[in-house]
Chains A and B, each alone.
Chain A
Amino acid sequence: MTSQNNGQSPVVEVQGISKQFSTDHNARVHAVTDVSIHIDHGETLAVVGESGCGKSTLANLIIRLHHADQGRILLKGVDITDLNPREMRAHRQTLQIIFQDPFASLDPRVRVGASVAEPLRVHKVATKEEATDRVRHLFELVGLERSMLNNYPHQFSGGQRQRVCIARALALKPELVIADEAVSALDVSVQAQVMNLMLELQQEMGLSYLFISHDLAVVERIAHRVAVMYLGQIVELGSREQVFRDPRHSYTKRLLGAVPIADPRQRTERPLLTGEIPSPVWPAGESPALVTCTEVEPGHQVADE
C-alpha cells in the first residue's frame, strides 16, 4: 500500500518544533531542534536515530506529553500546540501511542479486557455492552483469544502483551498511531509477527504510523518514508528507497554501514573506529548550529554539511 494524499491535509503536520530540557548544571539538553515533518493518511513515517537523538521526545511532543518550546503541531489541520489537557482530550481519539515495554504500559492489577475498554469508557463513546463487543472485536483483530480477556498482564508473553497494547491503542479508531520502539523489546519471531499485524491493520483501517526505532532493518521493512535524526535535528528525509538506496548525508551512511547484515556472505571489514556521538547538552546561552536542508530530488531532503 502506498501513501495516499487525496488533496486532504496530512494527518499530522509538525512545523519547526523545538524542545529543550534543563539540567542541574546550568546547561540545557537540546532534545529536538526545529523539526518539521508531516504524515499523510495511510502512511508510515519512520524516525530513526541512536540514543539521545530526540526521536522519543519528538513523539512525546506530538502526543502533547511535552509542551513544545517553539513550533506548531497540526492534527488534521487543527492547531493542537497550545490546547489545554481538557481541550486536548477530544483529539486523543485521533492520536494514540504504543510504547516499547508493554509490561510497563499495562496496569498489573487490571484485567487486560478492562485495560482495552478503558479508553472507550474515558471518552464515553460506548455503552457497557458496546464496549464489551468492541473489546472482543479488538482482541480478534490483534490475534488474541477471547478467553484471555479476563487474564492479567503477567499471564501473557511479551508479544501477547504488545498485542494487548495495540488493541488498546486501536480502541478509539485512531487515524495516527505513534509506535515508539514498539517492537524493540520483542524476540525476533514475535517482532516479525507484530510488524505483520501492524501492516495488516494499516491496510484494513487506513492507519498512519509514526514509527520510531533505532533498528534500520526493521524500519526498511515497515516505512513509506524515513527521517534520520541526529542530535535533535533531521539530517535526511525521503522515501524509503531514497534514504536506503541513495543515502546522501554522512551520518545516514555511517548508520547504514554499521548495521550487521544477517547473511555471512555479505560480511564487511569493520574499520577500528572509536568515534562517539557528541552530546546534545549545551551550556546555557549556547545553541547547536541549525542545519539547513537542500532538496536533492523530489521529496528527498538532505542537511548541508
Chain B
Amino acid sequence: MPLLSVTDLTVTFDEFTAVDSVGFTIEPGETLGVVGESGSGKSVTALSIMRLVEMGTRAKITRGRVELKMHDGSTLDLLGQDEPTMRSIRGNQIAMIFQEPLTSLNPVYPVGEQIAEAVRIHEGSDRKTSMARAREMFDLVRIPEADKRIGQYPHEMSGGMRQRVMIAIGLCCGPRLLIADEPTTALDVTIQAQILGLIKQLQVETGTAMMLITHDMGVIAEVADRVVVMNQSKIVEQGPVDQIFHSPKEAYTRGLLSAVPKLGSMAGHDGPRPFNLAGDLA
C-alpha cells in the first residue's frame, strides 16, 4: 500500500488549469522524480499535496484526492482536512524543501535556532531538548564544525551549507515523505554533487520517501527510482527510471531526452555536434 496516493488532482488559477487530472503514488522509502519544463505544473502539484497552494493565491483545488497512509494503517485524504490538521501533518508526516535556501531561512535568527523552533512547534519539547536535536541534525547532514556553525546566521553560510540546514529542518521531526522542489538547482555542480550524495545517504539512514522535483534529467537519472514526466499541466508518462530513459513511450519524453546534453556522449567525435532532436522536438 502506497505511502501517498494522488488521484485525479486538478488545480486551477481562475481560467487556467495548472494541474490537470494528475495521479501517481509514492511507496515508503521510494524516490519519485517529477521532471518537466517551466510551467509544467510540478511545483503546483507539490504545493497542492502540502495544501499550501491556495494560501494567498487565486488557486483552487477543484478535484481529486491526496491520500496519506497514517501510522495506524488508515488513510487520510489531505484535501478534506482543515488547517489545524494540516499543520500537524506538515513537518511531522510530510516536509518540504525549496530551491533557494536563503529565501526560506529567517535572516535574523541563527540557523540552529531555526531547526530547534521546528522541533519545539511540532513536538512541544523544551529549549534544551530541541537544541540538542538541532545539534544531532547538524551531524546527520554532515555540517562540519557543527558547534561553531549552529550559532551562525544564514548569510554567514555558503549556499551548499544553507541547503544542508534546510534538509535538517525538513528531516528534524522524522517525516515519512520529503518533498524537495529543485533542491540543487541554485548550487554549483560540485556542491550539487555533495547534496545529492547526502540526500541518497539520508534516505538509506532514515528510510524517508522522497518526491524530487527538478528540470534536470541528470539529477533524475541519478537519484530517482520512478519518474513522472509532466508537460502542460498533465502527466505525459510515468514509470521506472530505466524505462523512462531507455524505452520512453511518449513522443514528448523522447523529445525531452534528445535535447539533454549527456556528458561523455561526444567521445570519438571531432568538433561540436548539433542535437539530433527527436519525438515532439523533431
Q: Which positions in A face B, CB cutoff 8 Å?
A: 1-2, 44, 50-51, 158, 187-189, 191-193, 195-196, 199-200, 202, 214-218, 220-224, 240-241, 244-245, 254-267, 270-277
> Which A residues are in CB contact (< 8 Å) with B256?
188-189
With A200-B274, A270-B200 in contact, do A264 and B263 touch (Cβ < 8 Å)?
no
Do A188 and B217 touch (CB < 8 A)? Answer: yes
B8-56 at interface with A (beta carbon < 8 Å): 37-38
> Could you name 18 residue pairs across A and B whose Cβ atoms are closer than 8 Å?
A1-B271, A44-B272, A188-B260, A189-B256, A192-B259, A220-B264, A221-B272, A240-B272, A258-B193, A260-B221, A262-B220, A263-B245, A273-B193, A273-B197, A274-B143, A275-B194, A276-B160, A276-B161
Query: Does B242 sit within 8 A of A, measured CB to CB?
Result: yes
The residue of chain A having its C-beta at the shortest distance from the C-beta of B244 within the complex is A264
Binds A, one of B86-94, B105-113, B123-131, B183-191: B183-191
> Which A residues are in CB contact (< 8 Å) with B242?
264-265
Contact of B190 among A191, A254, A264 (CB under 8 A): A254
The residue of chain A having its C-beta at the shortest distance from the C-beta of B240 within the complex is A264
Q: Within the complex, what minimum Cβ distance (angstroms) separates A41 from chain B?
A: 14
Do B274 and A199 touch (CB < 8 A)? Answer: yes
Contact of B264 among A223, A261, A274, A276 (CB under 8 A): A261
Q: Which positions in B face A, CB cutoff 8 Å?
A: 37-38, 142-144, 158, 160-161, 188-194, 196-198, 200-201, 215-222, 224, 241-242, 245-246, 255-267, 270-275, 277, 281
Q: Within the complex, what minimum Cβ distance (angstroms) separates B22 from chain A?
A: 20
- How far, in angstroms, from A188 to B260 measured CA to CA in the complex? 6
New contact pairs (5) apart from A1-B272, A188-B37, A277-B188, CB-CB < 8 Å: A187-B37, A221-B273, A260-B216, A263-B262, A266-B264
The residue of chain B having its C-beta at the shortest distance from the C-beta of A197 within the complex is B274
> Which B residues are in CB contact (< 8 Å) with A193?
259, 275, 277, 281
- How far, in angstroms, from A257 to B274 measured CA to CA in the complex? 24
Which 6 residue pairs spanning A and B have beta carbons closest together? A270-B197, A260-B218, A192-B259, A258-B193, A217-B261, A187-B37
> Which A residues are in CB contact (< 8 Å) with B264?
220, 244, 261, 266
Do A224 and B273 touch (CB < 8 A)? Answer: no
> Which B residues are in CB contact (< 8 Å) with A202?
272
With A199-B274, A264-B221 in contact, do A272 and B197 touch (Cβ < 8 Å)?
yes
> Which A residues are in CB contact (< 8 Å) with B142?
272, 274
Contact of A196 among B188, B201, B275 (CB under 8 A): B275
